[in-house]
Chain A
């Protein structure tokens, strides 16, 4: 089966600082993968490179066999913070924009997700709390029918109820063949739903393992992740 994501020898520099170095990564379809790493490890940059918005990188990035930036964008859905839209826009207008801009936007699925997240369409973007905004972003992201979903720290700064709703929506609405890459620096939130774990450290990928293999060693994913950092400190 063709890999949904294929990264070979990816290097990315900005302000004369290496942010990503010799990244090699392959992801199979239908998996939920955690991209773990401490703050500033390069998780968001890696996602931006995959999403085709970070420029001037070296190496090969393929999503569903497409290497060109704009072609990759058609096969992936990236949790974008919606900061590019005016705060005065009503949620309804944002939904219409998404529906208009993306061929693969499934309105029906969005309505279900929206109901599940208990959001209200009459509110303006600027009126949303951080948790509600994050839920809206997830609902919009998952309403597109694509091969790869990139969720960049979807649980940061939101309460446990909202986190549970997001995780449940992931389980319920993820297409069987679609791959989800979730970046985070907290592990315990998502361990139960993970198929694979990718740890990014020192600007490169430190390890890429299946969650099952980690669990077979009688180790929790949280302990496994923490042990990688403790080893370095020792």
Chain B
């Protein structure tokens, strides 16, 4: 049942991603086409660019924006499925339901990233083949790697690789932590609202829920400030400059992030299993 639920929710999420990527590709191709026939004049960073390079830059920029937007949409969508009565009626334990929904969201987001990378590589390949200037610029760029001593000492290479790996882990953990916090706000505010005496109107209920969410955010900001005195986030380490000791602290700091992420997941599972009822729409 877990697999089936995962597949059904994943299909829904992937369908939307396909639609988004389809329109992104169509708009990029159209823009390149119009620029090619001088119907549109593309300027990027205040400089004229060739139609193909312009298209590639547009695709890359929209990919970054869409990545951010899709993350927010995925968070909202995941919470919407959590409160969906049609799905909550399937014979699946609440823990498996929450995790299945989460897993399908993560998979759909990874799918989006992979699709974007593939499309970017295709667009970049086309630009490389059709734009002579871009081709020579790319060749010059890669020729730099051939020069002796470009990578520096092996110790520096290891340090850069260590930072890169930790940065990727940090970004993944941050994405999970932000989602779990959003989920926590949704689950806990609903649980508190269900516990409080009845509300005279829907507007009053919405305002009360918003107030609870703001209050919870304020409490957590205080907790975060307190924890911040003992714990340096990977972001703090990145901002203060990574040298010597702080390089070693990166992994420990990411481990701390993992603990906070798992803690939020555990709280959410308790709230979801014991208090969170699906919406009753009649």
A residues with CB within 8 A of B:
14-17, 44, 48, 51-56, 68-71, 73-74, 78, 80-85, 97, 100-103
Using A53-B278, A100-B8 as known contacts, say yes or no to A16 and B87 having CB atoms under 8 A apart: no
The verdict on B202 contacting chain A, using a C-beta distance below 8 Å, is: no
Which residues of B sit under 8 angstroms from A84, Cβ to Cβ?
84-88, 278-279, 281
**Min distance, Cβ A63 to any Cβ of chain B, angstroms:** 11
Give chain B residues whose Cβ lies under 8 Å from the Cβ of A80. Answer: 85-86, 89
Could you tell me the distance between the alpha carbons of A15 and B194 in the complex, rounded to whole angstroms? 5
Complex Cα distance, B281 from A83, in Å, reads 6
Q: Assess the B280–A69 pair: CB atoms within 8 A.
A: no
Residues of chain A within 8 A of B199, CB atoms compared: 15
Q: From residue B235, how far is it (CB to closest CB) to chain A in Å?
A: 37
User: Main SS of the interface on chain A?
Assistant: loop
B45 interface contact, C-beta 8 A: no
Q: Is the CB of A101 within 8 A of B4?
A: yes
Q: Evaluate contact between A55 and B276: CB separation under 8 angstroms.
A: yes
Which stretch (B90-98, B124-132, B136-144) binds chain A?
Answer: B90-98
Chain B contacts with A in 172-202, Cβ cutoff 8 A: 193-199
Closest CB of chain B to A33's CB: distance in Å?
Answer: 20
Task: List, sorted by A's number, 15 A–B pairs whose CB atoms are closer than 8 Å.
Answer: A17-B197, A17-B198, A53-B89, A53-B277, A53-B278, A56-B274, A69-B93, A73-B92, A80-B85, A80-B86, A84-B84, A84-B85, A84-B86, A84-B279, A97-B8
Residues of B within 8 A of A (CB): 1, 4-5, 7-8, 84-94, 193-199, 274-282
- Chain A CB within 10 Å — which of B5, B89, B92, B194 has the most? B89
Contact A101 B85 (CB under 8 A): no
B89 lies within 8 A of A51 (CB) = yes
- Measured CB to CB, the closest approach of chain A to B227, in angstroms, equals 31
Give the chain B neighbours of A48 by CB distance below 8 A: 277, 280
In the bound complex, CA of A83 to CA of B84 (Å): 8
Cross-chain contact A83 with B197 (CB below 8 angstroms): no
Task: Knowing A16-B195, A16-B196, A17-B198 are in contact, say whether A53-B85 is a contact too (CB < 8 A).
Answer: yes
Whether B275 pairs with A55 at a CB distance below 8 angstroms is: yes
Question: CB-CB < 8 A to B197: which residues of A?
Answer: 15-17
Closest-CB distance, B46 to chain A (whole angstroms): 43
| A14 to B205 alpha-carbon distance, docked (Å) | 14
Q: Please give, as numbers and ranges, the residues of chain A lying within 8 Å of B193 by CB-CB distance.
A: 15
Pick the residue among A15, A17, A53, A70 that contacts B92 (CB under 8 A).
A70
**Known pairs A16-B197, A54-B277, A82-B86; A74 contacts B91 (CB<8 A):** yes
**Can you list the 8 inter-chain pairs with the closest CB atoms, starting with the nearest?**
A84-B86, A83-B281, A74-B91, A84-B84, A73-B91, A15-B198, A70-B93, A16-B197
Given contacts A14-B194, A15-B198, contact A102 B281 (CB under 8 A): no
Known: A15-B198, A56-B194, A56-B274. 7 other contacts (CB 8 A): A15-B194, A51-B89, A52-B89, A56-B275, A83-B86, A84-B88, A100-B7
**CB <8 Å contact, A73 and B4:** no
Q: Cβ of B90 and Cβ of A102 under 8 Å apart?
A: yes
Looking at B4, B88, B193, the one whose CB has the most chain A CB atoms below 10 A away is B88
Chain A residues, Cβ within 8 Å of B276: 55
B274 lies within 8 A of A101 (CB)? no
Select which of B86, B93, B277, B280 is within 8 A of A44 by beta carbon.
B280
Residues of B within 8 Å of A100, CB to CB, are 4, 7-8
Residue in chain B with minimal CB distance to A102 = B90
Smallest beta-carbon distance B213→chain A, Å: 18
Cα distance A23–B223 in the bound complex, in angstroms: 43
A55 CA to B93 CA, complexed, in Å: 13
Q: Which residues of B have CB within 8 Å of A73?
A: 89-92
- Expressed in whole angstroms, the Cα–Cα distance for A44 and B88 within the complex equals 16
Distance of A85 Cα from B80 Cα, bound (Å): 11
- With most chain B CB atoms within 10 A of its CB, the pick from A51, A53, A70 is A70
> Cα distance A108–B70 when bound, in Å?
40
Q: With both chains docked as a complex, state the minimum distance between the C-beta of B197 and any C-beta of chain A, in angstroms.
A: 5
- The answer to whether B91 and A81 have CB atoms under 8 Å apart is no
